[in-house]
Amino acid sequence: MIICGCMARLKKNNSDLHDLLVDYYVVGMTFMSLAGKHCCSDGYIGKRLQKAEGIIEGMLMALDIRLEMDIVVNNSN
């Protein structure tokens, strides 16, 4: 639910980044297919995805939310 709220806020403020995240993670489009859809390079798609992921991560940090995977990731480092 929390991530859904963050995604809704991203859609309100930057629908392009929201749509990019949905196409990549939900629909399962590849970098190359996203590049074709958005008429840009796959490298640019990677940078845009990183920006979108960073925005969501920042929202979670601002809300002081810990995900279940955070424990696993922190223990593996």
Domain regions of the chain by residue span: 8-67
Query: What pLDDT is attached to residue 66?
Result: 78
pLDDT in tens, 16-75: 999 999 999 999 999 999 999 999 999 999 999 999 999 999 999 898 887 776 666 667
Q: Which CATH code fits 8-67? A: 1.10.10
Hey, what amino acid is at 24? Answer: Y
What does the alpha-carbon distance between residue 70 and residue 65 come to, in Å, rounded to a whole number?
Answer: 10
Q: Helix or strand or coil: residue 28?
A: coil
- Quote the pTM value: 0.80
What does the alpha-carbon distance between residue 13 and residue 58 come to, in Å, rounded to a whole number?
Answer: 14
